Structure 1
Amino acid sequence: MRDPHDTPATRTLLERVDQLDRGVLVVRPVPGTSSPAVLALAILAALGKQVDPPPRGLTRHWWALACAWAAGHQVDYLVIDRAHTLPARLITQLIELAADIAAIGVWFIDPSPQAGAPALADLAGVTVQTPLQLLNLTLNQPGRPAQPSAGPHIAPLDLPPDGFLTFRYACQRRLPAGERARLDDAWLWFFDDTRWWLRKTQLLDETVRPDPRRLIAATLPLSAMLSVRLAALFYTARHPADAMLRLRATQAALFREGILLHHEPRSHELPDPGLGSRLTPDVAAAISHTVSTAAATAAVLHLINPLTGLGYPGARPPVLGDLAADGSQLRTAHGPVPVPACAQPVLRAHRHLLDPTGAAAPDTALFAGERAAPRDLAAQGLRPLKLTSDPGPRYRRSRAYLRGHATDWMRRRGLELCALAEMQPWSGHQ
């Protein structure tokens, strides 16, 4: 794009079209840029990464990181400001980067007063545009990342604080007729779906339920499976009341099969806001400032994976096949866990860094080549938020006889699983 007068209006246009959520990325190389490493820092800065001070590690890796993050954020249009200052080989690398991430096009802003910079004039198949044509980029619609649904939703109501045994009856008494009917339909859907899910696990068949010992033994593996199911339910809930309804229906369905899912909320006020994902848009945005795709990915997985920590000794190191290609899901041994849309660019970026051609084996270690352990990598990504990668608070049990099974993910939400057959008064001595 020719802008021989380098007008302030063009600067304003660039600020207007610089909308990453619409797939438009405006890169502003620093004066004197002559190497891929320095240009990579400009790309990373445009993507919102923390590059001051520059990232640690070999400078030859910076370009791969810039390409990975651009792919993760699904950039459709690259706009290179003051491209006339770049050498021809960097112009070529930018075109190759656009092709690598499947971008639609590259705009090179040329404000040189002459007929045009030689590095740009020699490009084949280019179209010279005017500054006003940049406005066409504002018509690019924001992407709509895949977000799986896990059943019906309810309005953000003030739900009664009753436990699962009387919750449905309390809602029928206290809520307006219209909301009451919609809530009851949603409750029945999750109740029936949980019972269907239990049958699918094959842990509580007709031979297990009548046998107290087998029923008690089934609660340990069931806690891991249930963690994945509840994560899918809570992460796709639209608000705390939505998550609480899903919990109460699940508790009732489990109770019918002889299993108690005990819940002690963070506070006496319901719905409990602590059921959902800690990976909020603000948290995801802070994690995304990290240049290292490994550290950012480890932080995201730490916040959403229900099968990590001491409560799940069967956890294995994550592999490439655990991440959906579009970053929308984390695949576990017990089913997929939805990833919030705000964090999907992180997982896409790390997948691209590990497998830029799509030919890597699914069992490729997710953090291959990293010197730090996944927990330490997560700590790096969480450091700007002053969060830690420890398992989190463990609730003090109000009933001494309840010694249920729970993953660390469940304990952080005040949840424990126990077979009714093993509930008996406990003296406190082991």
Structure 2
Amino acid sequence: MPDTTTAPDQGLNRYRAAGPRLVFVRNRDDDHRIVRRLAAVEGPSRLVVRPTPAGRTSDLALDILTATGRSPATLLADRTPAPDAWRQAAAWLSADQIRHVVIDRAHRLPDGALELLAELGRRTGSTVWFIWPVTENDRYVEPPMREFRDAGYRFDAIDLIAFMRELPPSPRALTNGLRADTKTPWAEGTGPDLPLQDFPVFLTHCRAKLPGNTFTAVTDVYEREVHLADQWLSRRGLTGHHSAPGSERHTRALGARLTFYLRDHRIGPAPDQAHALVRLRAVQVVLFLRGYLLRWQMETLGTGPTTRLLSQLTPRICDKLRTAGSPEAAAASALSIHLSHGPTGFGLITCGNTAPDGSSVRLPHTGSQYEAEETRYLRVPWKWSSHHHTPVELTALQVLHLQSDDPVPLPEHAAPLVAAHLASRRSQGATDTDPLFIHDKDPGRKSPELHLREAVMRTCHRIHFNPAWLHRSHCRHGDETAHDAAAAGWMHYRGLDLIALSNDIRSRL
């Protein structure tokens, strides 16, 4: 195929305003070396798409989603409309910070696909590379170069050698998954086999069971955790309450704050089971000296109770969520698993209260600063003509899993799931005041909770994850909405509950 990039065109393209870049790579004689080259190109910030032969533009969107990690089976089962599929593709590319999208065998793309890919590059700010074979015996249709230039795209036409020079192989850092964390004071794996005796005699049994160096490491972790828990109680846990210490309202409010502290900062993100158990025993001691008993009823958890203390939102679960669900379903499922709670209150999360990188979410402050936090409520938006709850107000206790002065931090491996859904909502024109989750059929007028419950249950079923806090109403275990909110959530499903000691015992401490 003759070279169509003449000097005047190149000069015109050089001074065109910066924008999405499109590059046609001329692969003369259909060189087979491009196969190995594209395999080497794949990596962080780079995506290689191999379109389905004789497919439609809707199939191309599914091919891009498959390249990002979605399961082809679930994509076909969801029957996502083509516009939604392209929007989801743009959302995942934005969340993954993809800067280079390489389309192999671009000459076989259906009509209109080049324009859609160019628009995808514009929305995500990525360079789109089209691998275009050129042979003498079978001359393929020349790419529409002039049309893209006239449309305002930064356009280049290069050969395979220039492509290899501009997009070198991706550096892949090889990591050893069995290497122990340098911050872990003991051997790799789950740590030492610690005794399960209660907190008053925990260290005594550790001394009798563990060798000297391991006991010293356990003591260091224990003492540090005692210091951190004491600081947290003095500066945050026990301050700012409007009711007397030891009262039921004070205990429930402290339990809400304690849930955040343990779930998001101490026990949930612990590196292994041993860390989680030592941290729990240290927090129990500090709370007891302040007049509160944090019970751990491990007999309700079955075998391996220490494994239940850690966060269930593991990197493996996040990878499965990405594969099985749309950006909305994956984000809602990740939040539900992290909080060990159904999607109650998710409709009140706004795009502005969600970190752009998906690292945290939060609810707006409720009520007056002079109002007791235990009696504050969250008003349902007036536009919602119907809501799952009666009356149409969500008390702060019903959204204990989200109600806090601080944002809810999410694990690093879960942040891209929320970021992808946020990018999808932004592409729909959502502003900072618009909700992050909306009703699928009547947005702005109906609560998204019922829709999200179905999406979370369907996604969890696909990844073979059975959430104990979310069952259908006909399930013999019941469901979370039929219970008091204080009897559900992260602490409840780990056998933890907070009890205030009597005034007589408190006076002796």
- TM-score bracket, normalised by the shorter chain, equals 0.7 to 0.9
Residue 201 (structure 1) aligned to one of 212, 233, 236: 236
Give the C-alpha shift of residue 325 in structure 1. 1.5
Backbone CA RMSD of aligned residues: 3.6
Matched, 1:164 2:222: no
In structure 1, what is the Cα distance between the partners aligned to 2:123 and 2:414? 22
| Greater Cα offset, 73-82 or 370-379 | 370-379
Give the C-alpha shift of residue 78 in structure 1. 1.0
Matched, 1:137 2:202: no
Give the C-alpha shift of residue 65 in structure 1. 1.2
In structure 1, the residue matched to 2:96 is 73
In structure 1, what is the Cα distance between the partners aligned to 2:124 and 2:339? 28
**What amino acid is the match of 2:277?**
M
Q: Is the 8 A contact 1:228 1:336 kept in 2?
A: no
**What amino acid is the match of 2:424?**
L
Matched, 1:370 2:440: yes
Give the C-alpha shift of residue 88 in structure 1. 7.9
In structure 2, what is the Cα distance between the partners aligned to 1:274 and 1:422? 33
In structure 1, the residue matched to 2:255 is 223
Give the C-alpha shift of residue 207 in structure 1. 10
Give the C-alpha shift of residue 411 in structure 1. 1.6
Q: How does 1:233-312 map to 2 (within 5 A)?
A: 233-265=266-298, 272-305=306-339, 308-309=341-342
Give the C-alpha shift of residue 255 in structure 1. 0.9
Would you say how many aligned residue pairs link Structure 1 and Structure 2?
396
In structure 1, what is the Cα distance between the partners aligned to 2:262 and 2:216? 24
1:383 to 1:373, Cα distance in 2 relative to 1, 3 A:
same
In structure 2, what is the Cα distance between the partners aligned to 1:247 and 1:267? 16
Q: Is the 8 A contact 1:378 1:389 kept in 2?
A: no
In structure 2, what is the Cα distance between the partners aligned to 1:423 and 1:47? 61
In structure 2, the residue matched to 1:113 is 135
Matched, 1:181 2:216: yes
Q: Deviations over 1:273-316 (max 9, x none)?
A: 0011222233222211235211111111110025x359xx9887
Q: Deviations over 1:171-198 (max 9, x none)?
A: 3444344443333232222212222222
Q: Is the 8 A contact 1:91 1:119 kept in 2?
A: no
In structure 2, what is the Cα distance between the partners aligned to 1:202 and 1:161? 26
1:137 to 1:187, Cα distance in 2 relative to 1, 3 A:
same
In structure 2, what is the Cα distance between the partners aligned to 1:423 and 1:386? 49
Q: What TM-score comes out, normalization by structure 2 length?
A: 0.68
1:38 to 1:84, Cα distance in 2 relative to 1, 3 A:
same
Q: Secondary structure at the match of 1:276?
A: coil
In structure 2, the residue matched to 1:3 is 27
1:248 to 1:140, Cα distance in 2 relative to 1, 3 A:
same
Q: How does 1:83-94 map to 2 (within 5 A)?
A: 83-86=106-109, 89-94=112-117
In structure 2, what is the Cα distance between the partners aligned to 1:326 and 1:82? 33
Q: Secondary structure at the match of 1:6?
A: coil
**What amino acid is the match of 1:370?**
D
Q: Which has the larger radius of gyration?
A: 2
Residue 61 (structure 1) aligned to one of 60, 81, 84: 84
In structure 2, the residue matched to 1:399 is none
Q: Deviations over 1:145-191 (max 9, x none)?
A: xxxxxxx7543222222221122343344434444333323222221
1:270 to 1:383, Cα distance in 2 relative to 1, 3 A:
closer
Matched, 1:24 2:46: yes
In structure 2, the residue matched to 1:408 is 489
In structure 1, what is the Cα distance between the partners aligned to 2:134 and 2:142? 10
Give the C-alpha shift of residue 79 in structure 1. 1.2
In structure 2, what is the Cα distance between the partners aligned to 1:423 and 1:83? 79
Give the C-alpha shift of residue 208 in structure 1. 7.2
Q: Secondary structure at the match of 1:2?
A: strand
In structure 1, the residue matched to 2:403 is 333
In structure 2, what is the Cα distance between the partners aligned to 1:315 and 1:82? 43
In structure 1, what is the Cα distance between the partners aligned to 2:320 and 2:354? 21
1:59 to 1:291, Cα distance in 2 relative to 1, 3 A:
farther
Residue 460 (structure 2) aligned to one of 382, 389, 404: 382
Q: What TM-score comes out, normalization by structure 1 length?
A: 0.79
Q: Is the 8 A contact 2:332 2:456 kept in 1?
A: yes
In structure 2, the residue matched to 1:14 is 38
